[in-house]
Amino acid sequence: MLQDLDLVSVQEVRTKVDKAHAAFQQFRGFSQEQVDAIVESMAAAGRANARRLAEMAVDETGMGNVESKVAKNLLCADLLPRRIRGMKTIGLIRRNEEEKVIEIAEPVGVVAAILPTTNPTSTAIYKSIVSLKSGNAVVHSPHPRAKGCTCATIDLMLQAAVSAGAPPDLIQCINNASMEGTNALMRHPRTSVILSTGGSGIVRAAYSSGKPAFGVGPGNVPVLIDESADIATAVKKVVEGKSFDYGTVCSSEQTIVAPLSIKEKILAELRRHNAFFANDEQAKALTRVLLNEKLIVTAECVGQSPQSIGKIAGFAVPADAPIIVAEIHGVGKQHPLSAEKLSPVLAVYFVKDFAAAVDACEGILKFGGLGHTCVIHATDESRILEYGRRMPAFRVLVNTPSPQGSTGITTNVLPSMTLGCGAMAGNITSDNVGPMHLLNIKRIAYAVRTPAEAFPDSAASAPASVAHGAVVSAVERFLASRGVKTVAAAPPPVARPVAVDSHTVAASVVDRFLNQRSVAPAPAVSSTCGCAAKPVAAKPCGATCACSAKPAEPATAPAPPPPPQKPAEPPVQVTDFVCENDVRDALRQARKIFIGPKTIVTPAARELANQHDILVVARR
């Protein structure tokens, strides 16, 4: 019997991924109506057990508070299902008659869901619902410190899904979760996509697994309170957001930034909401206990109450204080409390004016929250737009508590527990991740135009361009074979063609070419003689004609023709790239392909060319 936890975990992962994959093969044949009925059953179970699961999470992890966790469970079991109700995710999802394109949803397969300790039950509900809504199976890997409440939530989701007709192994939970087991889950051949929530280490592991992955970056949310804001309402909402689940949501407010002109009003409102103000010594103590030398939040302070954090730091916080406030005087490493704190500790920073406040908020995001979330409280629309334009964040929230706004409780962004931070933070998306991210779309596209109709201007000008190039090339080769040197000149611009005779076009091109090369064209041939006799078509004067006149003597005797020279050997044209089709064309045309030391030859092309001796190394 295996005793090593990592080996047990890895073996469990292999077994449960195989079970989930087998269930997915059955589930992928379900209709949209069947899938929606299963999702509704899961959502109903989540709503009915929201409080019980919240209590389990607080008891097991010691993080956050029950009321906030109930709200997060309802976000995922109530708001999310209502938002995605009617969303087409199975089979034919869109038919665009005008564009002649039909879109068909294709589920990805098995979703590897990595769960956090901060939001264990709500995230399990969320990832189960979005995975099945997209037609997928899901295998959850709980955080070891939240295994009990997470596995209970997943079991609840599975029972509800099966009661509505889902295959019995469609939702799986790793009961013996370990880092080795989680890595095995992410790298399993039958894992199709990773939905990762947790610290930066697990997110990096997801992105380096070789599988498509949705992860998130850290949040360090600045809150700009503008002079145009309703100060009392703004501060009230900041306190609501910062105290929500004791700051465990990564989009919780971290620092208020405001102009000095409204400093006293903001401080007065914070005091009115019973915020505890730390003095300079207490702020230094907070820094020591909240953050390590790398400015990463210490585990013992994550999601703790203000009173517990004060006790750890060595000072007492009144029982009615919802948050701790500490004033800072800058942003960056020299001011550690300007970093993410994952606790109900709020920094405040006052600057000269709005422009300086925008600069400070941008600095806070660059210090530790790129791409995530920022907030502005204001009524001046121009300042709101300026703030949104400047901030390197993909959720710019206006006049709302931050965690409630970013997750879709108070705003119309998609309800979600996975908030993408975009390419600037190394994430695959900047969206709130939902069901549409966990499926691919197949497109059936009908022909609506011919190639000539697709490029009308190019098609119209092509014949003249080709004719010019072909004639010039032919004349150059002819003159070179006769030893006539030409003076190069730029080719004439190609005018838009008109309907003319092809012989006229060719003659015109030849004349222009000879003029450009300083070669006089042959004199025009007259079709009449100098007498009054009728012309003889296409015969020069002096040939047998109807008159007795003799041809005029030339002014000077023509120069003797140059001695014949050996035709110049045409230069070898070295090909830069050779593919299999190039070799097949050369075979059909019975020609060689000349390559040089820098020529790229595909393996298939080289194999075929070697069979028929097509490639020739050109000598420079």
CA distance 102 to 192: 24
Beta bridge partners of 92: 104
* DSSP state string for 143-182: -GGGHHHHHHHHHHHHHHHHHTT--TTSEEE-TT--HHHH
CA distance 195 to 353: 41
Q: Which of 76, 149, 173, 250 is catalytic?
A: 250
Structure tokens at 491: 């080719």
What secondary structure letter does DSSP report for 216? Answer: -
DSSP H or E run through 393 = strand 393-398
- Side chain identity, residue 78: D
CA distance 273 to 320: 9
Is 250 in the active site?
yes
CA distance 68 to 409: 12
Compute CA 234 distance to the chain's CA centroid, rounded to the nearest angstrom. Answer: 34
- Side chain identity, residue 591: R
Structure tokens at 436: 């549409």
CA distance 517 to 332: 69
Structure tokens at 537: 């078509």
DSSP H or E run through 26 = helix 5-27
Phi, psi at 97, each rounded to 5°: -65, -35
Question: Please, where are the H alpha helices in 316-427?
Answer: 354-368, 381-390, 402-406
Residues shown for the chain: 620
DSSP H or E run through 264 = helix 263-272
In the sheet that holds 439-445, the strands lie side by side as 91-96, 101-107, 439-445
Residues recognised as catalytic: 250
